[in-house]
Chain A
Amino acid sequence: MTEALLEVHDLVVEFPTRKGTLTAVDGISFAVHRGEVLGIVGESGAGKSMTGSAIIGLIEPPGHIAGGTVHLAGERIDNLSLDAMRRVRGKKIGVVFQDPLTSLNPLYTIAEQLVETIRTHLPLSERAARDRAIGLLDEVGIPAAARRIDDYPHQFSGGMRQRVVIALALAAEPELVIADEPTTALDVSVQAQIIDVLKRLCAEHGAAVMLITHDMGVIAETADRVAVMYAGRIAEIGPVRDVVKDAKHPYTDGLMGSIPTLTHAEDRLTQIPGSMPRLTAIPPGCAFNPRCPKVFERCRTERPNPQPVSDRQVACWLYDGEAHP
């Protein structure tokens, strides 16, 4: 395996509130290697987007990183000043958000936004930056890029706008692209196109991708490895094929069973009782224990940490040889 590009160690994100401190991300560790696509999957409130925001230093106050470290290419980036972080964002880490309409400024043309981004990070003349911008739009598959570059965002369709956002994210040749639900706002036929563009371009530009989504199908088709998050923690992380076909953690197992598939229709979907706990009421021990079909005594009191199980890491007492009855 190649050298780790992004290393997240024991990351904790907290939100102080009137009713006490909420822990949105609770001590998670993972690495993204050069050239790989790491999927982060989970249901709403699992902390997946918060993890992405923490890495790029965009957590809304009063939320803050309360512990742990983030290293990008060996350099620590979680404690940088706002100014230094701005230079990392865009230059070293490109970001694609869910809603392409809110990531683009409606009052500027696509050309102005791309050229500004390129010139902020790269020493290019106006003319050269514009040529580069047209080249990027061409690469993401916008027809007649040289003509359309002077259009405003509202003149593009949803799928085309998301292509522009991908071009923006790649504008300064970042080493890592964080894509947070990049296709959730799009129709399936367009979603497939966007995933295709994202995957192909990141491979061509040598950028690693952190793909955050709630859609296990997208992960299964796109990612090399996947981390399954539950209540601010990583339940299971490993190669995507293994996790999909043979889930170890009871939550992952339930999640996979609850997804209807195209190939065969079961009479009933597997059902996980209840729903994810709110941040104010995370149970002691393993956060999944009240919903878990295989729960035993230790799960209710002690919190399991991810431990190696064959080729992956699973945070579950079932896989702790001594503890399981």
Chain B
Amino acid sequence: MTQALVNVENLGRAFDVSKPWLNRVLEREERKFLIAVDDVSFEINKGETFALVGESGSGKSTIAKLIVGLIPPTAGKISFDGTELRLDSGSQMRQMRSRFQMIFQDPFASLNPRWRVGDIIAEPMRAFGLAKDSASAAKRVDELLETVGLTAADAAKYPHEFSGGQRQRVAIARALSAKPEFIVCDEPTSALDVSVQAQILNLMRDLQDEFGLTYLFISHDLSVVRHMATRIGVLYLGRLVEIAEAKALFTHPQHPYTRMLLDAVPDLEMTGRDHKPIEGEIPNPIDPPSGCAFHPRCAFANDRCRAETPVLKPVETGEAACFAVEEGRI
């Protein structure tokens, strides 16, 4: 196995959703916490694409923000290339930040509408002091624009002059301008049409080959993940329920939630097949079910699942957190 570039250990993040102090005193209520990410551990190897999939409220975007240090974790730690990230150390974060970048979901919100595209792309170079002078920065901007399939002349335009797909190309050029090793992509194509999505996904794979990038790819779309990922982690209500090699996850899903998700995805190849009816919806994360969070929707749940929380255990295809799999009940 190659060396892990990113190492996430027992990561947790709780958000305080308590009522104001006075209400708590008057109504005699305890503080309330929403546990968005709970005891998540995984590693990302150099040069691979590790994908996190999950439905809304599963904590995938929170993990993205934790890894790039946009919000601090409340438990666990994140190491990058062997060094633990310390958000309280400004100089260390500054040094580390140039090595990882992020691409956001909405290219309409992630680009400053009052800045020219050239300035947007040059900003990381300025921030990290990567360009000697403005002339060399401008030259690098032109190169980057061409790398992502735009033209040098586009540097003088404003974001509103571009379509959604072109804006996402600008966002990718900006991420590349810091010469990162690792890029966190949070739903990079969810706001795009399919034909444009295909262009962006192809571009991201080409760039990975060209610059040896490592991706953390976050998406709710299983078919996109299937196309992009080397390994996949499946999240449910803030916990990882399964990690597997991309191919194995789709051919031999282990966890009942993964099986259910795969069954639910409408797929071109599946015209006319019968769906198994799926029960229930994702529970409220403020008040999650006891034991395994998936047990109210699970056909294999028993008393142990209702009482104990399963942890990831090695299985043939990777790791799965399920008592039914562990005990051989499925």
Contact = CB atoms under 8 A, between A and B. Distances in A.
A261 interface: yes
B161 to A, nearest CB: 12
Q: Which of B250, B261, B267 has the most CB of A within 10 A?
A: B267
A272 B165 CA distance: 12
B267 A217 contact: yes
B198 A215 contact: no
A239 to B, nearest CB: 10
Contacts of B265: 188, 217, 262
A310 interface: no
B266 A192 contact: yes
Contacts of B196: 43, 275
A260 B266 contact: no
A133 B277 CA distance: 24
A258 B194 contact: yes
B143 interface: no
B63 interface: no
B55 A189 contact: yes
Contact of A240 (B197, B261, B271, B278): B271
Interface string B89-125: 0000000000000000000000000000000000000
- Interface-central residue, A188, A215, A221, by most chain B CB under 10 Å: A188
A220 B271 contact: yes
A324 interface: no
B286 interface: no
Contacts of B270: 220-221
Contacts of B268: 216-217, 220, 244, 256, 259, 261
Chain A interface: which size bin?
A: 35 or more
A244 B223 contact: no
A83 interface: no
Interface in A179-222: 187-193, 195-196, 214-218, 220-222
Contact of B267 (A157, A193, A220, A265): A220
A49 to B, nearest CB: 14
B34 interface: no
A269 interface: yes
Contact of A191 (B222, B262, B264): B264
Given A188-B222, A192-B264, A262-B222, A221 B271 contact: yes
A269 B223 CA distance: 12
Contacts of B267: 217, 220-221, 261-263
Contacts of B166: 275
A189 B195 CA distance: 24
Contacts of B56: 187
Interface string B269-294: 11111010110011000000000000
A123 B154 CA distance: 63
Contacts of B275: 192, 196, 221
A44 B205 CA distance: 25
Most chain-B CB neighbours within 10 Å: which of A192, A222, A267?
A: A192
Nearest to A193: B278
A159 interface: yes
B130 interface: no
Interface in A240-260: 240-241, 244, 254-260
B87 interface: no
Contact of B227 (A241, A260, A275): A260
Contacts of A190: 281
A272 B220 contact: no
B68 interface: no
B163 A193 contact: no
A17 interface: no
Given A159-B281, A241-B272, A191 B202 contact: no
A258 B271 contact: no
Given A192-B275, A216-B194, A275 B165 contact: yes
Looking at B163, B250, B271, the one whose CB has the most chain A CB atoms below 10 A away is B271
A271 B199 contact: yes
Interface in A140-161: 157, 159-160
A189 B163 contact: no
Nearest to A245: B271
B224 interface: yes
Contact of A270 (B55, B198, B227): B198
A289 to B, nearest CB: 16
B264 to A, nearest CB: 4
Interface in B281-312: 281-282
A272 B223 contact: no
B133 interface: no
B264 A265 contact: no
B260 A43 contact: no
A197 B153 CA distance: 51
A272 B262 CA distance: 27
B184 interface: no
Contacts of B165: 275
B278 A261 contact: no
B197 A275 contact: no
B201 interface: yes
Contacts of B16: none
Nearest to B276: A192
Contact of B262 (A216, A218, A262): A262
Nearest to A185: B56
Question: Across chains A and B, which 5 residue pairs bring their CB atoms closest together, nearest first?
Answer: A217-B266, A258-B198, A43-B193, A260-B227, A187-B55
19 contacts: A43-B195, A188-B220, A189-B278, A191-B264, A193-B277, A195-B266, A214-B193, A214-B194, A217-B267, A220-B267, A221-B271, A256-B268, A259-B194, A260-B226, A261-B268, A265-B227, A275-B165, A275-B195, A275-B196
Interface of A: 43-44, 157, 159-160, 187-193, 195-196, 214-218, 220-222, 240-241, 244, 254-263, 265-273, 275-276
